[in-house]
Amino acid sequence: MELTGRQRVRDEHFFRQVLGRYPTGVVAVTSVGDDGDPLGMIVGSFSSVSLEPRLVSFMAARTSSSYARQRTRDRFCVNVLGDRQEDVCRALAVKNSADKFAGIGWRPSPLGSPVIDGVVAWIDCVVVDEIEAGDHYIVLGRVVDLEAAGPGLPLIFHNGGYGSFIPRSRVIPARPDVMAHVVVADLARPAVESLTRELGMECAIMMTIGDQVVRVAAVGAPPVGAAPIQVGQRMPFWAPLGALMVAWRDRETQEAWAARGAGGGDPATVRAHLRALDRVRARGWVISLATDAYRALDEVLVHHPAGPHRDARIRELETALGGPGAYDQESLAAEGSYRVRNVSAPVFGPDGQVVMYLSLFGFPEVSAGEDIMLAAGRLRACARTIAGLLPG
């Protein structure tokens, strides 16, 4: 017999089954007891609450013995577990365990709570309120410090079991300055999804918005243990960044782009960029190598908030990127071996101008030149397919 609405709500098993369709992240909430021993509990109800002030929350069952021990503490640290830390999750979830942290490495947070080795992020908090809500407590915490601790994907709980978030296609949140760009990116996503499945890689859809180059969307799953491409990431549109967006433009636009970059006041530097852009047009794609300078740039793009200080740090890195060498590898050979950061190809609109470019990530640590060229060929074919879908 079919249950009525009231019966469905009252049926605890059915209630859990329905809510289990909604995946939740898995975090370990930690603190330190009076005796200096680490305390920890697993929570699937962590959430961001407020940006101003910076508040987060988690919920704990009123019957939880783990929370009873932590409840007297005035601080806690939220550890966002990685998808390879199911063993840590199970160890900390054991009830009434004398030593949950046996075999688990950790270090003190700035407030002294345990930061577990290998987590993808941690958030250090002080308790500001505890609210009774049915059979749970809602604990509010003010964020004092936090860090994106390492690469990798988060552990999730879904349909009664642990698993991993496998990103396939992600788009920047809709805002007034990006709406038109999101519509165009949506046209490209099916073709890019097919490409990333074929190659087992990730691809970013890049577009210019004002004076910035923006990752409007990202498609595909990252290699095991790597963090997915972050959408919404913005970087200045000046040399050597965003070369594909100007390589087919008029000389005046190219010169202005080159002049805004490092050393742009030097005519020789501008001429070097113009020659490199000529080679980019002839080749039809660009490659960036995995250098220390690019790794430092990625760190800035991910972790530094937008503003003058971020732009100043990017300018410091521009010289280290190698000028035109950041996007123009003249010596690329089929028989060579290379450490590749990404390969990019342009998508042309009906007017012959570049509307967006696709950046392929996830190459092996060392790639053969021949394999790079094959991947670039597949990327260019994908770009041509997308170009045929764009409205006139």
Q: Which of 116-130, 161-175, 341-355 has the lowest mean pLDDT?
A: 161-175
Pairing verdict, β 55-61 and 136-147: antiparallel
Tokens of 5: 């609405």
Shared domain for 237 and 158, answered yes or no, is no
Question: What mean pLDDT comes out for the span 133-162?
Answer: 88
- Alpha-carbon distance of 362 to 203, in angstroms, equals 9
Residue 337 has pLDDT above 90, yes or no: yes
DSSP string for 2-43: PPPHHHHHH-HHHHHHHHTTS-EE-EEEEEE-TTS-EEEEEE
Domain shared by 205 and 349, yes or no: yes
93 lies in some domain: yes
Which of 164, 182, 214 lies at the terminal end of a domain, its last residue? 164
- 81 and 151 share a domain? yes
pLDDT tens digit sequence for 283-326: 999 999 999 999 998 888 877 777 788 888 888 888 888 889 89
- Band of pLDDT at residue 1, cut at 50, 70 and 90: very low
Q: Is the domain of 107 the same as that of 221?
A: no
In the chain, the number of structural domains is: 2
Is the domain of 123 the same as that of 180? no
CATH number of 185's domain? 3.30.450.40
Whether 84 is in a domain gets the answer yes
Domain match, 352 and 231 both: yes
Are 143 and 189 in the same domain? no
Residue where one domain finishes, among candidates 98, 130, 164: 164
The answer to whether 228 and 167 have CB atoms below 8 angstroms apart is yes
Distance CA 106, CA 258 (A): 47
pLDDT value of position 28: 97
The domain that holds 22 is classified in CATH as 2.30.110.10
In terms of domains, do 229 and 300 share one?
yes
Mean pLDDT score of the chain, rounded to an integer? Answer: 89
Residue with tokens 């997308």: 386
Mean pLDDT, residues 158-179: 73
% of residues, the chain, pLDDT over 70: 93
Write the DSSP assignment of 93-127 as a string of letters.
H-TT-S-TTTT--EEE-TTS-EEETT-SEEEEEEE
CA angle (65 as vertex; 61, 67 as ends), nearest 5? 60
On whether residue 348 sits in a domain, the answer given is: yes
195-199, long-range: CB < 8 A, 24+ apart: 195/378, 195/379, 195/382, 196/168, 196/220, 196/221, 198/378, 199/360, 199/375, 199/378
Do 177 and 128 lie in a common domain? Answer: no
The answer on 182 and 160 residing in a single domain is no
Q: State yes or no: pLDDT of 364 exceeds 80.
A: yes
337-338/367-368 β-pairing: antiparallel
For residue 294, give the amino acid letter. Y
Last residue of a domain, one of 117, 145, 164: 164
Q: What is the pLDDT of residues 253-291, one digit of tens each?
A: 999 999 998 888 899 999 999 999 999 999 999 999 999
What range defines the domain where residue 270 resides?
A: 169-387
pLDDT tens track for 225-255: 666 777 888 889 999 999 999 999 999 999 9
Q: What is the pLDDT of residue 47?
A: 95
213 versus 7: which is more confidently predicted? 213
Same domain, 138 and 222: no
Are the beta carbons of 40 and 121 closer than 8 angstroms? Answer: no
Confirm whether 392 is domain-assigned: no
First to last CA, the chain: 57
Q: Is 306 part of any domain?
A: yes
Which stretches of the chain are DSSP H helices?
Answer: 5-10, 12-19, 65-70, 86-93, 179-199, 251-260, 267-283, 292-303, 308-321, 369-387
Cβ 376 vs Cβ 343: under 8 Å: yes
Q: Do 193 and 136 share a domain, yes or no?
A: no
- pLDDT digit string (tens) for 94-135? 876 668 899 999 999 999 999 999 999 999 999 999 999 999
The pLDDT of residue 224: 61
52-61, 256-265, 273-282, 339-348: least confidently modelled range = 256-265
Cα–Cα distances in Å, from 239 out to 232, 323, 324, 358? 20, 7, 8, 18
Q: Are 277 and 254 in contact (CB under 8 A)?
A: yes
